[in-house]
Structure 1
Amino acid sequence: MKDVPNYRADPQLLLQLPEDQWFERKSFRIQPKDLAKTVVGMANAEGGVIAVGITNRSFDGTPTAAQDNRLRQTALDHTDPTARVNIEVFDVNEGQQVYLFHVLPSEWVHYLKSGECYLRVGDETRQLNADDILELRYTKGEQQFDATIPPRAEIADLDMDLVESYAAAIGSSSANDALKARNLVNRDGVPRTAAILLFGRNPQEFFPNAHIRVLRFGEDERLPGYWQQLIADERFDGPLPQQILQAQEAIKGMLPKVRRLTSAGLFEDEDLIPHDVWLEGLVNAVIHRSYSVAGDHIRFEIYPGRIEISSPGRFPGLVDPTQPESIARFARNPLIARVTAELRIGQELGEGIRRMFAGMRRVGFADPEYRQTSGSVILTLKAVQRLDPKMWNALPPRASSVLSALSASARPMSTGEVADVLGLSNPPVRRALQAMRDAGLVQWRGNGPRDPRAVWYLEGPLQ
């Protein structure tokens, strides 16, 4: 949850800040039920702050005793379950106050006592219909969509050859036993949504938008109409493991290549965005997308200098997209996540994200970026250097190659080892390493300048 910045130092900021996903102004004259709509909307989204006591960007003054009581009782009297709200009474000027409602994000879906449900989207608090509420419950983890039974589904809708292969992978004695062991069928043997998506003969019969679309553009911007340089547009459907494999092969043929030092100590042609990074992004999108969102699909967009992967549905639970490396393990589709992990296709959400960060840092590129819209999560992988170009220009000529060698190594390296990998003599390598140490890019460990066991290594992300 974001907070209102610096208002204690400058109360006028409460009047000037634009209203957005995390901030809204209200008057002391607001009715508690109307205030509760914003409380519920923020609790169902990412939390936020409601500044009560402001009308038309002017402070109201001080609330009456009756207003004070109604404000303090808002969450208890009008939200169900009771939203968590911390109320801070803030003196802005002599004789003027603002009540700051710090609304905490919740792991549950909240309603008004009347049964209405709201969600904060941008600078609006929107009322949700029944389908929207169900999707919010899936997102919060209150209900599990991949465990539902699709209408008219039957065991004949599964490709039993695929199920047999999966049973062999997990050491199960039969396909039916494997389905039961992983809760992929109900007690009557009817396949759940996860089974249809993973092993269905035609999953798109039940879920038409459960597919991957790969697009390649000739320009870094998606230009409109006639000017749009769309070079390739391919769709991949079928069971999820098949989608991933087929899309992966197509993407490998579309991505720009670059010559890069590998962990084997050789310069080889690689994808500009490292293969393990974009593949992790693709797999995460397939495993963790919201399959209950029927009107959208996964898009993998390739531009000359970046990749964008768009996945239907918002981040699950209480995930903060502004701090992706802190995401704990959470699976919106736990049945799908377990099967794909056992098929060695994917792992948990948090682990995969951390691997992507490590992969981008290994080649010196900017960290992955996540942004969340009202209905999707978009991952951007940019082929831009993390380091300031001015800093690069100030380093010795061999610095980039030396840094690549250290990044590709699984362990710290001596000056001589780095020189051997690069086919250089020790002096230029030593000069580059010392300059990068002075710049805070690499670390040195040893007992003295002549220590034969002294090594160089990277510590933490590049800045």
Structure 2
Amino acid sequence: MPEQQNIEYKQSWHDDYLKWVCGFANAIGGMIYIGIDNKGNVSHLADYSKLMEDIPNKIRNSMGIICDVQLEDKEGMKYISIKVNPYSVAVSLRGRFYYRTGSTKMELTGVELNEFLLKKAGKTWDDVVEEGATIKDIEEKSIAKFIEDSREKGRMPDTKGLSVFQILEKLQLTEGRKLKRAAIVLFGKNPNRFYPNVQVKIGRFGKDSTDLKFQEVVEGNLVQMLAEVQVQLNHKFLTRPVDFVGMQRVEKDEYPVAALREMMLNALVHRTYMGAHIQLRVYDNRLSIWNEGGLPFGLTLGELKGEHNSRPRNPKIAKACFMAGYIDTWGRGTLKIYNSCKEHGLPEPDILEKDGGFMVVLHKVWQGVDESGAIGGAIGGAIGGVIDSLTDRQKDVLKIIKENNDVTYKGIAEKLAINESAVGEHIKRLKEKGAVKRDGSTRGKWVLLIDI
């Protein structure tokens, strides 16, 4: 009986499980069963009478919320169910905030906590007024470029004869006479004056990250950076392979332009703007882009390969970019990256969560012989990208599976001294990254898809 997004099983009660109650209350709600293990076996609670009094009081006194606590009976064996409803306001436990995502409980801190509190207040980071900004902080040329870019799609309302401030009003980037953060990010003369790290750092590396050859930093607003990054890539960081068809010289793009554009737009639109700068790394055999800020809660990496709903972290910025024709609002950005690589003859890109952020890696098609004499190429690059994305704990799980391909969740948990639900979360991530799969069900075996 595996744990799910909204179900948790505990064999006995411990006050630490109040964190799970808090996590459910801040997410979509859920059920906690006390006296049932992960296999669905009921272990009789001898102290159920005391727990029926203590648990509701502890929940109310520590968090100020009410949960439905019921005594259940299965063939004379007593267990307790705790129904936690989702709350529209943020719920804290002794000043700390927890959130249930997947089958794990996580404590919210830093940027994640800030975004969570804004969301509970009905706001997003980019929708907040920037008190220190005035219309003098807006770069008019960027607005003009934005409007010119929008003409092809025809999504923008008529802006003829409007002032800069009135155009920002049309884009819903103002509140009264004040500017919202999105206005500064999109069109600011110097967004870094308000928010550090509104920039893209581009590095040219050799075979790995220790071999840095040169780098550039692109600063400015979103409109400026979108154009300038493409210029820097084309003129300094990428080569254009040349082929000849008859007597005609034909240049081929090293990577599909559509994929590069979508990667850059995804990073600029969906990044956490109070976090680290965007990092774009160009290697001999691959290109990657990373931005701080993981996937929205409830969306998995596997779902990015198919149709999925668009859930932007910065909806004001995203809406403006939609009106300019830069992006769609149907969650098709990652699909465009996958499809353009396929059409370009490149292997499937790696799309993964890494170091508190989101990373996309494109791989070149290359055939040659490596130092060991083996035929190398795009497949080897892709595998290397997957391995680089794994956490130490995920690598430990793979090593255990490599030693014993019919090991159980319980067996892995015992070797790593963690609980089975944590093992389940690691396995889920490894499957999403294409590192392992299960051949068969109950009596099946694990199959490693990468060498470790």
* TM-score class normalised by the smaller sequence: 0.5 to 0.7
Which structure 2 residues correspond to residues 191-270 of structure 1 after superposition, within 5 A?
Answer: 191-219=179-207, 221-222=208-209, 228-253=210-235, 254-255=237-238, 257=240, 268-270=250-252
Partner of 2:410: none
Q: Contact (CA 8 Å) 1:289, 1:312: kept in 2 or not? A: yes
- AA aligned opposite 1:315: L
The alignment's TM-score, normalised by the length of structure 2, stands at 0.62
CA–CA distance in 2 between the matches of 1:108 and 1:154? 33
Q: Please point out which of 172, 182, 204 is paired with 1:183.
A: 172
Partner of 2:434: none
Segments of 5+ residues of structure 2 without an aligned counterpart are: 151-155, 367-374, 376-452
Q: Contact (CA 8 Å) 1:203, 1:210: kept in 2 or not? A: yes
Q: Please point out which of 369, 380, 396 is paired with 2:350.
A: 369
Cα deviation for residue 241 of structure 1 reads 1.0
2:142 pairs with 1:162: yes
Query: In the comparison of the two structures, how many residue pairs are matched?
Result: 349
Q: Please point out which of 353, 358, 364 is paired with 2:334.
A: 353
Partner of 2:20: 38
CA–CA distance in 2 between the matches of 1:75 and 1:107? 18
Q: Contact (CA 8 Å) 2:101, 2:298: kept in 1 or not? A: no
Cα deviation for residue 286 of structure 1 reads 0.2
Which structure 2 residues correspond to residues 421-432 of structure 1 after superposition, within 5 A?
Answer: none
CA–CA distance in 2 between the matches of 1:261 and 1:140? 59
Q: Quick check: 273-282 or 140-149, which moved more?
A: 140-149
- AA aligned opposite 2:193: E
Larger radius of gyration: 1
Partner of 1:442: none
CA–CA distance in 1 between the matches of 2:76 and 2:53? 20
Query: Structure 1, residues 276-319: CA drift from partner, whole Å, max 9, x if none?
Result: 1122011111011121xx34111111222322221112223532
Q: Closer, same or farther in 2 for the Cα pair 1:259/1:62, shift >3 Å?
A: farther
CA–CA distance in 2 between the matches of 1:370 and 1:83? 39
Q: Closer, same or farther in 2 for the Cα pair 1:198/1:37, shift >3 Å?
A: same
2:287 pairs with 1:315: no
Query: Structure 1, residues 339-397: CA drift from partner, whole Å, max 9, x if none?
Result: 22333333336121221121123245443333235731222233469xxxxxxx9xxxx
Cα deviation for residue 26 of structure 1 reads 4.8
Q: Please point out which of 323, 345, 365 is paired with 1:342.
A: 323
Q: Contact (CA 8 Å) 1:158, 1:199: kept in 2 or not? A: yes
- AA aligned opposite 1:217: F
Q: Closer, same or farther in 2 for the Cα pair 1:282/1:129, shift >3 Å?
A: closer
Q: Closer, same or farther in 2 for the Cα pair 1:230/1:96, shift >3 Å?
A: farther
CA–CA distance in 2 between the matches of 1:62 and 1:234? 64
Q: Contact (CA 8 Å) 2:126, 2:180: kept in 1 or not? A: yes
Q: Closer, same or farther in 2 for the Cα pair 1:193/1:90, shift >3 Å?
A: farther
Q: Quick check: 243-252 or 138-147, which moved more?
A: 138-147
Match of 2:175, SS state, is: coil
Q: Please point out which of 15, 32, 49 is paired with 1:66.
A: 49
Segments of 5+ residues of structure 1 without an aligned counterpart are: 8-20, 223-227, 386-392, 394-463
Partner of 1:28: 12
CA–CA distance in 2 between the matches of 1:90 and 1:258? 71
Match of 1:117, SS state, is: strand
Q: Closer, same or farther in 2 for the Cα pair 1:250/1:311, shift >3 Å?
A: same
CA–CA distance in 1 between the matches of 2:95 and 2:67? 14
